[in-house]
Amino acid sequence: MHHTPPAAQTEPQSAPQTPVPPEGPAGPRGARIRSALRGVLRPGPWRRGPVLAALALLLGLLMLLHAEIPNGWTGNLGSLVETFLPWFGLFVPVLLAGALWRRSAAAVVALLLPVVVWLNLFGGLLGDKSQPGSQLTVAEQNVDAGNRDPAGTARDLAASGADLLALVELTPQATGVYERELAKTYPYRTVQGTVGLWSKLPLSDTRPIDVMDFGPLAATKTAAQELPANRALRTTVATDHGPLTVYVAHLGSVRVNPRAGFWTASRDIGVQALGRAVAAAPSKAVVVLGDLNGSTDDRALSGLTSQLRSTQTAAGAGFGFTWPARFPMVRTDQILVRGVQPDRSWVLPATGSDHLPVAAGISW
């Protein structure tokens, strides 16, 4: 009898086990180290963009403290910055785009400084402050000595409806054209050298103003010897509300060059001379019309702006830039008043000049 041996019993086999790595750079501790390294190498939003944040703060401080930027030994850097001060606001969207690209919360917050400063300086110019009811309209233009169509310019200006029209940078050849074209609209006129005033109302007591009257600046006379005589005048306009003293002026040019920086010597001398003349005006109501070759933000014009109000600032809409005509970047053509109320201020359409004409409505 055969006996079959029992089948061999097989032991159950356990599932393969994943080896547990030892503690080290490849384990949980390593994961924490890698996470910490990523936190250092990829900083959070408040630590990103430190350069952008610094530039934003620098821009805000530049606009806030522009009056502290010196003139003189810096080549009139302070006046140059103030001349183009509104344009510094264009850096804000540029820096904002960079901050958003870098996802930098610090840079975005830092941009609040230049935004607040710019709005404090120029926010009031963004709205329309004009009012109806003007009793007299005045206009001014630098008609450009190289103007190829003075007759067309004269017709355009006459169509503006201005009661008083001041023209500067007149040449002997063009003056006769303006006199002929404007004679029908303006029966009264006075021309002194390169500046003139055409009026619908009678004029009297007309005299040239010597903007080369150096006064205490006589030692710097050579800085402006290139200026021709008779670049400013004063006259009295007879209105229904009493005499109105009107000044028409074209101050010296300014230039930017590597040697002198922002060269303004002749312009600054003219500002002081014109300021003294305005201070001695024979009537309480005063209007200054002209190309002052400077912005009212420029501290160098304080000899005038401390006595007079800018119609554009008081009653305009926007910045009212006038030069250059093709792409205006600064308002050098000014209408300043004292003793009358500016109701409106605006820029007229381009003519044949490289400056845009400006106009304002005033009342008593």
* C-alpha 345 chain-centroid distance: 16
CA distance 325 to 139: 16
Q: Which two tokens stand for residue 270?
A: 């003219």
224-235 in b/e burial notation, b at 16+ Cβ within 10 A? beebeebbbbbb
Rounded to two decimals, the pTM is: 0.84
CA distance 327 to 336: 23
The DSSP secondary structure of 269-319, one letter per residue, reads HHHHHHHHHHHT-SSS-EEEEEE-SS-TTSGGGHHHHTT-EEHHHHH-BS-
Q: Read off φ and ψ for residue 289, nearest 5 degrees.
A: -125, 130
CATH no. of 136-363: 3.60.10.10
Burial class (CB in 10 A: 0-12, 13-18, 19+), 254: buried
Q: Which two tokens stand for residue 86?
A: 């509104």
Burial class (CB in 10 A: 0-12, 13-18, 19+), 48: middle
DSSP state of 20: P
Give residue-wise pLDDT tens across range 112-122: 999 999 999 99
pLDDT value at 346 more than 60? yes
Q: Looking at residues 95-100, what average pLDDT do you find?
A: 96
CA distances from residue 257 to 146, 264, 270, 347 in whole angstroms, order as listed: 23, 11, 21, 30
3-state helix, strand, coil in the chain (%, to 5): 40, 25, 40
pLDDT value at 223 more than 50? no
Q: Looking at residues 275-291, what average pLDDT do you find?
A: 97
Average pLDDT value for the chain: 89
The reported pLDDT for the residue numbered 117 is 98
pLDDT value at 361 more than 70? yes
CA distances from residue 224 to 44, 173, 214, 229, 336 in whole angstroms, order as listed: 58, 24, 10, 11, 24
The helix-helix angle for 172-182 and 150-158 (nearest 10°) equals 40
Q: Looking at residues 73-93, what average pLDDT do you find?
A: 96
For the chain, the structural domain boundaries read 43-123, 136-363
The reported pLDDT for the residue numbered 221 is 47
* Contact (Cβ atoms closer than 8 angstroms) between residue 274 and residue 288: yes
Element spanning 266, H or E: helix 265-279
CA distance 66 to 62: 6
pLDDT tier at 162, thresholds 50, 70, 90: very high
CA distance 335 to 271: 14
**How open is the CA angle 85-89-91, to the nearest 5 degrees?**
115
* Contact (Cβ atoms closer than 8 angstroms) between residue 89 and residue 308: no
DSSP state of 171: -
pLDDT tier at 50, thresholds 50, 70, 90: very high
CA nearest 273: which of 356, 217, 228, 342? 217
Q: Which two tokens stand for residue 6?
A: 């029992």
